[in-house]
Amino acid sequence: MSTVLNHTVNNIQGEPVDLSRYQGKTLLVVNVASKCGLTPQYEGLEALYKQYHQQGFEILGFPANDFAGQEPGSDEEIQQFCSLTYNVTFPMFSKLVVTGEEKHPLYKDLIKAAPITPNRGAMESMLKQHQIEPTAAPEVVWNFEKFLITKQGDIKRFAPDTAPDNETLVSAIEADL
């Protein structure tokens, strides 16, 4: 079993969830935010979830306020936003930290397992154009970075600007299902 699934985290209702319950499934772990230019990815993520959920696919959404304060709300506010604006039905979790000294152990393990963000440079350039200094590798670059955890525990990483319907991402999901 991947050490990534050796964590207990609180769901968005504040209840503890042992991530080992997802062992044997194809997982997409995404750090999300409600006030980001990439927030419309919720729509694509939900479509992906609906398309593949019955085949053993799960999306785990982890709100994080690490980037430009783009997730300032409480868990309740985040849940309401996701439900009302994007009709999100995939599992959402309590807000956590994905970068820096206070990084949640789940994200420490994800980054250790997949330290390279493919196409990171394009995202860094876009951030710099907006006068935002990107995090240093191997840190998560921005909201909506994705980690695909296969049934065997292998981890593939996708840049934040990788859309949920991106052919490379979808192919990797389908190959594991």
Catalytic residues: 36
C-alpha closest to that of 173 among 62, 29, 6: 29
Q: With contact defined as beta carbons under 8 Å apart, do 169 and 27 qualify?
A: no
C-alpha closest to that of 97 among 79, 71, 76: 71
The amino acid at residue 91 is P
Element (H, E) at 171: helix 167-176
